[in-house]
Structure 1
């Protein structure tokens, strides 16, 4: 009976060690994959989301300014024609 308990104790200890090793391997693989992913993304030279949002907002504001300037230019172009017709 004592021999069976020792076998089960050894088996339990072996399983615990295997679980610890597996956990270590899992963490090592996660670290390797994470570093490779970061290197891949860095090599792609992607823009950060904050920079993209700031640029999009700037372009939108400039588009509105361009529309206002086009309307102002159209009004200025139409003004001499109105003066020419009235004289």
Structure 2
């Protein structure tokens, strides 16, 4: 009976060690995958969301300014022609 308890104790300890090693391997693989993904994304030269949003807002403001200038130009052209 004592012999079988030792066997089960050893088996349980080995299973705990194997689970710990598997968890360590899992964490190492996650670290490697994250590192590779970050490298790939960096190589793609993607634009950050904040930069994209700032540029989009700037383009929208400039578009509104262009529309206002077009209206002003049209009004000036209208006033410059002699009325009949």
State the TM-score, normalizing by the size of structure 2: 0.97
Gapped regions of structure 1 (runs ≥ 5): none
Residue 33 of structure 2 aligns with which residue? 33
Distance 1:4 1:80 in 2: 108
Shift in Å, 1:85: 2.1
In terms of fraction of residues, the more helix-rich structure is 1
State the TM-score, normalizing by the size of structure 1: 0.94
Distance 1:72 1:35 in 2: 54
Distance 2:21 2:83 in 1: 92
Structure 1 runs (4+) greater than 6 angstroms displaced:
none
Local SS of the residue matching 1:85: coil
Local SS of the residue matching 1:36: helix
